[in-house]
Structure 1
Amino acid sequence: MYQHKLDEDIRCPLEYGLEIFGGKWKSRIICVLAEKGTLRYSILRKEMSNITDAVLAATLKNLILDEIIQRKSFDEIPPKVEYCLTKKGMSVIPVLQSICRWSGAYHREDNENTMTQCKKCDYKEGYGDNL
């Protein structure tokens, strides 16, 4: 059986951050909500494109558990649910923007597959001048 080389209580804070906003979809959801504000599930799903309902639901659940986004249910028929960033979620935006600026200096741009939110981001400014 596999045994961890380090005790689980000895962790780098960077691991926590990457767990919170790492992966394929978490940072994208955070960026969409940062730009668009409060969104209903169906609108968020359209903004994300190429994400399955199962993956979106699971990712939203994880972000809610990590207190990055808030889910608000309304007592009406048909049911209405909205998602928005929490204060903690808003605090990660400058971090993600910094990562985008750094990445913009080193990645190849593929405008065809770039999310609309990324096209509006200022990720190209800053680091490119220092190369």
Structure 2
Amino acid sequence: MYQRKTPKEYYCTVDYALDIFGGKWKPRLLCILGHSKSMRYGKLKNEMENISDAALADSLKELQAAGIVARQQYNEMPIRVEYSLTKEGRSLLPVLDTISNWAVQHSQADIYSGRHFRKVHANAFH
């Protein structure tokens, strides 16, 4: 995971928020975890469709460090690890719902091609 040498400067609160849960993979991770109580790594990777192991691991670590995602390890053989949204992570679901509704209202193309979107509709967090 990349570590900055100097502190990042934020010019508005949206910059800060998008730094935490924006990017290529994090929004999709949050949507998928928002539709389930918890999920194992393999199932999560399968739901993400085209993410590399490195990108998934880095995204999960960053979301964990931000307090958005919880990692629960069970001491079984083989070791079982499950990921879920924390209380703080669940507080993002209305925000994602609002962003999703905006995208539906303002899109002119068929943006809903992913397998996960076909399973659930855009504002199914509540």
From the two aligned structures, give the one with the greater helix fraction: 1
Q: What does residue 26 of structure 2 align with?
A: 26
Query: In the alignment, is the contact (CA less than 8 A) between 2:32 and 2:116 conserved in 1?
Result: no
Give the alignment of 1:1-131 within 5 angstroms: 8=9, 11-107=11-107, 108-111=109-112, 113-117=113-117, 120-122=120-122
Aligned length: 115
Cα RMSD, aligned residues only: 1.8
Deviations 1:89-127 (A, max 9, x none): 00001001101111111221244x23424652245xxxx
Deviations 1:59-114 (A, max 9, x none): 00000001100001111211110000000000001001101111111221244x23
**Aligned counterparts of 2:50 and 2:103: Cα–Cα separation in 1:** 22
| Runs of 5+ consecutive residues of structure 1 not aligned to the other structure | 1-6, 124-131
**Aligned counterparts of 1:101 and 1:32: Cα–Cα separation in 2:** 16
**Aligned counterparts of 1:50 and 1:70: Cα–Cα separation in 2:** 23
CA radius of gyration, larger in: 1
1:69–1:12 Cα change, 3 Å: same
Q: TM-score, normalised by structure 1?
A: 0.80
Q: TM-score, normalised by structure 2?
A: 0.83
